[in-house]
Amino acid sequence: MNPAFSVIFLTTLIGTGQGLFIAVVFGQPYSGSGTSNYGLVATILAFAFLAAGLFASFFHLGRPERAWRAVTEWRTSWLSREVIALPIAMILVLIYALLQWIPGLVDGKGMNIIGLAGVFVMLALFFCTGMIYACVKFLQEWATPWTIINYTVLGTASGFVLATALSAALDVARLGEFKGLAIAFTLIGLITRLFSFQRNNRIKYRSSIQTAVGIKHRKITQRSMGHTGGSFNTRAFFHHCSHKLISNLRLVVIVIVFVIPVAMLILYGYLPREEILWAAFIVQYIGLLAERWLFFAQANHPQNLYYQTVG
């Protein structure tokens, strides 16, 4: 597939926002001092990430003014379900922010209920996003539970790294927990992503040129795809990058999404400077953009079998 930048930004931005919100709700019971406005700032930031993701998604649409129509087919379409889950998530985040801004509206138990409802919607949103890709069964690189697991774990990891940086800036008391979990989620992400890389290395494609044209001969060569100029089929489904670039990028992703951020988080224990944590978040986020690019570029669409030779 040819990676679309709008979708890369959409999935990485909302992933970070979702992860950050989960981190905030998780951190709530630890907010003993009550003097810091950490929770409020982090919640608003989570909202900002979700909103930025939503904004990016509009660039993917040919007719953004009709985007509201996308809520109608929630019975069958995971994309429609995502389009519903995202605003619900954003509303819950706003309510959560409001409750922190005006304390005393609800008691601690009420906060926890709203918070947990938010976490539940965030997880549901991860699931919807993952299923958009995982449900297309002939995109065999995507049609696996790893897709959903990676979206969830990588988004959560990125959110927790951001939460760590934020807590260093605003409230040091909870830093330890966030940092520990940020490292843990990043390492889990490393394992799950390596598993999916490994799985995709070994895919046996069910479609071949033989099934595509229905001729059972071992040697079939395309002589013409029917047009010499490009078409939607050659633009949307081919990334035109070399295998070498892809395999190098894979290494880069492993290093900057997982290895460097974890190293920086550990380094912070010895050299407690806030900038290190911010840098860890930014490096990881850039890495996640590359990771998402790779996710698309690595998917082999069976329609490509029909577009091998210009002619």
Partner 1 sequence: MSKQLALVIDLNVCVGCHACVTSCKEWNTSGSAGALPDERPYGKDPSGTFFNRVQTFEVGEFPNVETVHFPKSCLHCEDPPCVPVCPTGASYKREEDGIVLVDYDKCIGCEYCSWACPYGAREIDTRQKVMKKCTLCVDRIYDPELPESERKPACVLACPTSARLFGDVNDPDSEVSVAIREEGGYQLMPEWGTNPANHYLPRRKQRITIHEDELIRADSPLKKEGVHPHGPVEDVTLDDVTSW
Please name the amino acid found at residue 220: I
In angstroms, what is the C-alpha Rg of the chain?
A: 22
Q: Does 206 bind partner 1 (CB under 8 A)?
A: yes
Which C-beta is closer to partner 1: that of 64 or that of 272?
A: 64
Among 61, 194, 245, 252, binds partner 1 (CB under 8 A): 61
**What per-residue string of b and e applies to 33-62 under the rule 16 or more CB within 10 Å gives b?**
eeeeebbbbbbbbbbebbbbbbebbeeeee
Which residue, 36 or 222, is less far from partner 1 as judged by CB? 222
Q: How far is the CB of 71 from partner 1 (least distance, A)?
A: 8
Applying CB under 8 A, among 44, 88, 225, 249 the residue interacting with partner 1 is 225
Choose which of 76, 240, 251, 270 interacts with partner 1 (CB under 8 A). Answer: 76
Q: Select the span of 34-42, 132-140, 162-170, 180-188 touching partner 1 (CB under 8 A).
A: 132-140
Identify the burial level of 72 via C-beta atoms within 10 angstroms of its C-beta, where 0-12 means exposed, 13-18 middle and 19 or more buried.
exposed
Element (H, E) at 81: helix 78-101
Of 120 and 138, which has the nearer Cβ to partner 1?
A: 138
Of the residues 33, 55, 59, 64, which one makes contact with partner 1 according to CB under 8 A: 64
The residue within the footprint of partner 1, chosen from 51, 52, 135, 188 (CB under 8 A), is: 135
Interaction of residue 137 with partner 1, rule CB under 8 A = yes
Q: Per CB under 8 A, which region of 9-17, 38-46, 183-191, 303-311 contacts partner 1?
A: 303-311
Residue 140 Cβ, how far from partner 1 at the closest point, in Å? Answer: 11
Closest among 43, 15, 23 to 181, alpha carbons compared = 23
Question: How many positions of this chain bind partner 1 (CB under 8 A)?
Answer: 58
Neighbours of 235 (CB within 10 A): 10
CA–CA distance, 59 with 34 (Å, rounded to integer): 41
Q: Which of 305, 133, 307 is nearest to 206 (CA)?
A: 305
Burial of 299 (0-12, 13-18, 19+ CB in 10 A): buried
By CB under 8 A, name the binding residues for partner 1: 1, 60-64, 66-67, 69-73, 76-80, 83, 132, 135-139, 206-207, 209, 211-215, 217, 219-233, 236-237, 301-304, 306-307, 311
